[in-house]
Amino acid sequence: MEHDMATAAARLLEAALPHVTFDGWSEATFRAAAAEAGLSPELARALCPRGALDLAVAFHHRGDRAMEAALAGRDLSQVRFRDRVALAVRLRLEGADREVVRRGAALFALPQNAATGAALVWGTADAIWRALGDRSDDINWYTKRATLSAVYSATVLFWLADESAGHAATWEFLDRRIGDVMRFELFKARVRENPVLGRILEGPLKALGRLRPPAGPPPDLPGRADGGRT
């Protein structure tokens, strides 16, 4: 039964994508997708209680899974770490339909959907760090994801407007942003090593260091077809 539901949810998402380009992640798209996937309105709503919003969430998670799969097939042992991060972001975007992403950006920019959108970006940053082998469990767990979330968000917005050949301008923009992250990591290391700054920030750093990442991924959204966060 669970497999059948996952298959139905996947069909629903596939049927929706051609409509998103014209109608966005809308109720019209959701209803048309349900009809074309051969699902009753009741079953479609059971799979996606929030309608097209849940479909947009599933589409985003599918992109994360595709990025993880693409990274898993590469030997990165000789690649600089900053270039591994840049590659992960690039793979995440290169596999996406730009117009569908544009429509998603508009959806998640709405005030009522902003928290969901922010959680998705954080989840993408988390997926990238985990795919690259990050095992931090202190303040670094948060700062890495916070900084990469900012980089990813900015890069997506740049990419959506980029008309350069092969999106070359986007990859240059991304490389500059990754450079900013690396400088921030260097700054943190120097703060810890500096006897004066280290004492000043000892308390705040210890307090933040006691924070821990969640024990596991959050519960799936109702009707999620991917079976877990990626």
Confidence band, pLDDT 50/70/90 cuts, at residue 203: low
> What integer pLDDT is reported at residue 181 of this predicted model?
74
> What integer pLDDT is reported at residue 218 of this predicted model?
38
CB 25 within 8 A of CB 103: yes
For domain 2-209, the question of CATH label 1.10.357.10 is answered with yes
Q: pLDDT by residue (tens digit) across 134-148?
A: 888 777 888 889 999
Which of residues 200 and 76 earns the better pLDDT score? 76
Would you kindly state where each structural domain of the chain is located, as residue ranges? 2-209
| Residue 46 CB partners (closer than 8 Å, separation 6+) | 222, 223
> What integer pLDDT is reported at residue 54 of this predicted model?
98
CB 54 within 8 A of CB 48: yes
**DSSP code of 112?**
G
Task: Report CA-CA distances (Å) from 84 to 67, 72, 97.
Answer: 12, 12, 22
Q: Please state, for a pLDDT cut of 70, what percent of the chain lies above it.
A: 78
Which burial class, exposed, middle or buried, applies to 80 when counting CB atoms under 10 A from its CB (0-12, 13-18, 19+)? exposed
Confidence band, pLDDT 50/70/90 cuts, at residue 95: confident
- Averaging pLDDT over each range in 14-18, 76-80, 219-223, which range is the top one? 14-18
